[in-house]
Amino acid sequence: MAGAVPSESRLRADARRNSEQIRSAAIGAFQGQGLTVPLEEVAKAAGVSKATIFNRFGGRIGLIEAVIEEVVARELFAVIEHTRTIDDAGERIAYYITAIRDLQYRQPAFNDVLLQTYPHSQQLMEICRVGSEANEELIAAARASDALRPEFTAGDLHALVVDSALALKHGERPPRDDYDRRTMYLLDGIRGRSSASGGR
């Protein structure tokens, strides 16, 4: 009847619907604009108030952690796992660097992870740790097989992807063809003797 108090089950259903709407809006916003997108934009896309985001997720960090697997982690970990299936060390490192740079170009949120924009997020820092371990593993194997210049280190690779993250986040976004051409220049510059004429 008119003026009746909503039942507890109705309130729970509304809360679940709001949470799913917020998650969906956050995934789209983070993938399109990065993790620093104003929460007001997420709330507007979800059809809720900013306060509802805080009520459901505790704020930006909680919201990031609720969706970061779909936004970044799943695709990054798939790249790492596929890389490990490639037998040739030169092809392996070429695929990995190309795929990482592709992810950087397509997913602004990935650059926020690389830049550790939200260091208080345990999940973001865990993604960074897994990525760093993959870098070290791949670089060590590639150097051992002469697929990389002997002086090239995991720290160098980290610096290169961070430099790219900074440029993509704060600079003018280059056309995709130019970006891919620079990826090839990067690969040509770090190849060792065994892959001087190979790779992608």
**Predicted local confidence at residue 198, as pLDDT:** 46
For the stretch 78-92, pLDDT in tens is: 999 999 999 999 999
Place of tokens 């259903």: 13
User: Can you give the pLDDT at residue 12?
Assistant: 72
Query: Can you read off the two tokens belonging to residue 89?
Result: 């060390």
What pLDDT does 17 receive? 84
Closest among 32, 169, 186, 200 to 106, alpha carbons compared:
32
pLDDT tens-digit series, residues 135-177:
999 999 999 999 999 999 999 999 999 999 999 999 999 999 9
Kindly report the number of other CB atoms within 10 A of residue 18's CB atom: 18
State how far the Cα of 152 lies from the Cα of 8, in Å rounded to an integer. Answer: 61
When pLDDT is averaged across residues 36-58 and rounded to a whole number, the result is 95
Cross-strand bridge partners of residue 191: 148
